[in-house]
Amino acid sequence: MVILQSTFQLFPEKVDEALELMREMMRLCTHEHGCRHYRYFQGIADPGEVLLLQEWNDAESLQGHYETDHMERFVSRLGPLLRSPITTRSYVSQDEESILGVNEESNAESHQAIH
């Protein structure tokens, strides 16, 4: 299992636009092969800081994610909204059980939203 943590620093006047792009990415990515979890969290003290937590079955699934058309569109549209480069940290776990929770598509009661 591969886990990624990315941090986005957004221009204050661009937060709403960026959050809309991120909601669309959550909707698309949770249906990708190998995606276990894909969720954004907005900062409480700094609403312009957004954390993305991703969990993938393996490196091949993650690589497939990077090669999707929606990922390419997201990166190109998000660039002008960022006040600094995205920072990403990657981790690997030998444990097969999800540590981030169930994927949204398997939980019909939940709604995808930025927290």
Residue 63 domain flag = yes
pLDDT at 114: 55
The total of structural domains in the chain comes to 1
Q: Does any domain span residue 101?
A: no
Residue 105: inside a domain, yes or no? no
Residue 43: CATH number of its domain: 3.30.70.100
pLDDT tens, residue order, the chain (115 aa): 999 999 999 999 999 999 999 999 999 999 999 999 999 999 999 999 999 999 999 999 999 999 999 999 999 999 999 999 999 999 998 877 766 665 544 443 333 345 4
Q: The domain containing residue 15 runs over which residues?
A: 2-93
Q: What is the pLDDT of residue 103?
A: 55
Q: Quick check: is 108 in a domain?
A: no
Positive or negative, the Cα torsion across 8, 15, 63, 55?
A: positive
Under a CB-based contact definition with an 8 Å cutoff, are residues 55 and 100 in contact? Answer: yes
Whether 104 is in a domain gets the answer: no
Distance between start and end Cα atoms, the chain: 24
Return mean pLDDT, the chain.
88
